[in-house]
């Protein structure tokens, strides 16, 4: 029973591969990656599979029974890219696909949802039994900004008092592993989010508590936040998109209290305090 994992050289994919190696025979796992060289340290078979090159996908999916399709990272290109791999899966007789989608993909205002909706529709049209893991925001989306916040003396955003049910990549990775290694998930849609929701003011308060510094949350109008991100070197279009996602947060679109993630992984999701603590340990100089 071969399980193919796309995005295996990415942050989430690496965590999933490590956890899958504890649950399944190494010989049953295949990393489906843009660059097999980059996958050399994963310790499992690696095959070239570039979403933009359908011929590589055809070869890569040979003999794969279950496919974990980790959504790609090239925003704007993904609907087509994901269609390529779904088509290749169909032609290769893949029996099951697990897809990492977006929380409330069917009705969220988050701009990213368009591509996830298209992929969920493509999966449905393929007729291949599948499961949609609609992942909420990674807590790392915020802990990643800690060094900048400490340097600038404030945590900035446009999320207002919107509550974010964030969970760590580790939590989402465990959910993917739980679904890949057990039965009864075909046709299901899981809305995955953290047990605990936080506003960015609460995030900044936790950061202040742990660092002993006063780091306030400064809420900015969307245009000003986008301009600030661009001034840090983020390309203008991406800066605008990120600011827009914060506006979606302000509307409550990243909130979910169904606790489906903790039910799937059989433990509470990682608390914000632990995620902040881990991030500060990893960037000690920033503290
Ligand atoms: N829920 C959230 O908060 C959140 C945040 C960020 C991203 N995401 C989504 O979740 C996915 C996984 O997150 P992550 O943190 O692991 O992101 P990541 O580290 O950027 O990993 C993305 C993976 O997609 C692969 N990829 C990109 N374009 C590809 C292509 N044309 N063909 C084949 N593979 C391609 C990358 O390959 P390389 O290793 O070769 O670069 C990488 O392995 C992201 O791609 C994105 O769709 C969700």
121 close to ligand 1 (CB < 6 Angstrom): no
Q: Is the pTM of this model over 0.85?
A: yes
Q: Where do the domains of the chain lie?
A: 3-135, 141-163+195-256+266-282
CATH topology of domain 141-163+195-256+266-282: UDP-galactose 4-epimerase; domain 1 (3.90.25)
**pLDDT digit string (tens) for 227-276?**
999 999 999 999 999 999 999 999 999 999 999 999 999 999 999 999 99
* Average pLDDT of the segment spanning 5-22: 98
pLDDT (0 to 100) of residue 287: 40
Name the closest-CA residue to atom 15, ligand 1: 11
- Spell out the CATH class of 3-135: alpha beta
Cα(51) to ligand 1 centroid in Å equals 11
Q: What share of the chain has pLDDT > 90, as a percent?
A: 98
Cα(160) to ligand 1 centroid in Å equals 27
> How far does CA 63 lie from the centroid of its chain?
27
135 close to ligand 1 (CB < 6 Angstrom): yes
Cα(7) to ligand 1 centroid in Å equals 6
Which are the contacts of 182, defined by CB distance < 8 A and separation ≥ 6?
Answer: none
pLDDT (0 to 100) of residue 283: 74
Q: What is the number of the ligand 1 atom nearest to the C-alpha of 140?
A: 3
State how far the Cα of 196 lies from the Cα of 250, in Å rounded to an integer. 17
* Average pLDDT of the segment spanning 151-172: 98
């Amino acid at each position: 029973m071969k399980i193919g994992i796309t995005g295996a050289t990415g942050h989430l994919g690496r965590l999933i591969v490590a956890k899958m190696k504890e649950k399944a025979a190494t010989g049953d796992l295949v990393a489906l990656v843009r660059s097999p060289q980059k996958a050399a340290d994963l310790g499992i078979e690696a095959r070239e599979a570039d979403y933009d090159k359908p011929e590589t996908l055809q070869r890569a999916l040979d003999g794969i029974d279950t496919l974990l399709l980790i959504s790609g990272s090239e925003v704007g290109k993904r609907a087509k890219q994901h269609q390529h791999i779904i088509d290749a899966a169909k032609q290769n007789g893949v029996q099951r696909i697990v897809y990492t989608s977006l929380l409330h993909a069917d009705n969220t205002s988050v701009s990213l949802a368009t591509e996830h909706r298209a992929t969920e529709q493509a999966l449905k049209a393929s007729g291949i039994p599948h499961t949609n893991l609609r992942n909420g925001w990674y807590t790392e989306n915020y802990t990643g900004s800690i060094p900048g916040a400490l340097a600038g003396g404030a945590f900035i955003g446009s999320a207002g008092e919107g509550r974010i049910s964030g969970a760590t990549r580790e939590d989402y990775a465990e959910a993917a592993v739980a679904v890949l290694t057990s039965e009864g998930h075909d046709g299901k849609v899981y809305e995955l989010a953290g047990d605990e929701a936080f506003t960015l003011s609460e995030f900044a308060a936790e950061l202040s508590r742990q660092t002993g510094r006063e780091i306030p949350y400064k809420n900015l109008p969307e245009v000003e936040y986008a301009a600030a991100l661009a001034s840090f070197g983020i390309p203008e279009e991406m800066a605008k998109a990120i600011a827009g996602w914060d506006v979606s947060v302000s509307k409550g679109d990243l909130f979910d209290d169904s606790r489906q993630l903790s039910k799937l992984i059989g433990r509470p999701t990682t608390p914000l305090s632990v995620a902040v603590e881990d991030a500060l340990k990893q960037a000690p100089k920033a503290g």
